[in-house]
Chain A
Amino acid sequence: NAGVTQTPKFRVLKTGQSMTLLCAQDMNHEYMYWYRQDPGMGLRLIHYSVGEGTTAKGEVPDGYNVSRLKKQNFLLGLESAAPSQTSVYFCASSYRYEQYFGPGTRLTVT
């Protein structure tokens, strides 16, 4: 039982490049979330999903897209990376209120 896993752990992008972050959970949770954590800002919700095939915008969705084609996977895409997207990205899943987080992806955009 791996819980929530994230791929990759680290990535450096140049401005304008694209990439996809993968989140996988093996707890059969309906809800999945993508957050970013920046110094002094706490955890801010980017996008979330309440079930397979659904997505919704969170607090800071601009510049990101998501897809939930399978219940266990939630993908976060950056189509044209910007330095402002340098951050640590966390994925989470939940059955009810308590969310379970992955280990994070540290992304640097130069």
Chain B
Amino acid sequence: DQQVKQNSPSLSVQEGRISILNCDYTNSMFDYFLWYKKYPAEGPTFLISISSIKDKNEDGRFTVFLNKSAKHLSLHIVPSQPGDSAVYFCAATGDTDKLIFGTGTRLQVFP
């Protein structure tokens, strides 16, 4: 039973346009959500997070939106750049011990 789902394995976006990556979760006890970015042959790096008490968090070109009623979060990247090409994982937690990761979405930003 996958508690965190990223239903789009891949996404291709033109440079300068918006990238929207989606994530759904099933466990209503999750109260903190994170996005990680992973380049090939490297470990994942933390990108941005959001607490369930908020519905939006912004950091530069990256914004995460949380819709608790739909159990859905999304990551917006505006404008997209070629260096954003990577695999993006969303993760969720209901306590401080463990994160539950999605399967990842591979983003490709082309010129």
Contacts and interface: CB of A to CB of B under 8 A. Distances in A.
Contacts of A58: 98
Nearest to A42: B103
A104 B99 contact: no
B25 interface: no
B22 interface: no
A98 to B, nearest CB: 5
**Chief secondary structure at chain B's binding surface:** loop
Interface stretch (B44-52, B56-64, B76-84): B44-52
B98 A45 contact: yes
B103 A98 contact: no
Contacts of B99: 45, 97, 99
Contacts of B98: 33, 45, 48, 58
Interface residues of B, number: 23
A104 B43 contact: yes
B29 interface: no
Tell which of A4, A35, A99, A100 has the most Cβ of chain B within 10 Å.
Answer: A99
A65 B83 CA distance: 38
Contacts of B32: 97
Interface range for A? 20 to 34
Given A41-B103, A42-B102, A42-B104, A101 B96 contact: no
A43 interface: yes
Contacts of B101: 35, 42-44
Tell which of B41, B93, B99 has the most Cβ of chain A within 10 Å.
Answer: B99
B103 A103 contact: no
A90 interface: yes
Interface in B85-102: 89, 91, 93, 96-99, 101-102
Contact of B44 (A41, A44, A101): A101
B66 interface: no
Interface of A: 4, 31, 33, 35, 40-45, 48, 50, 56, 58, 90, 92, 96-104
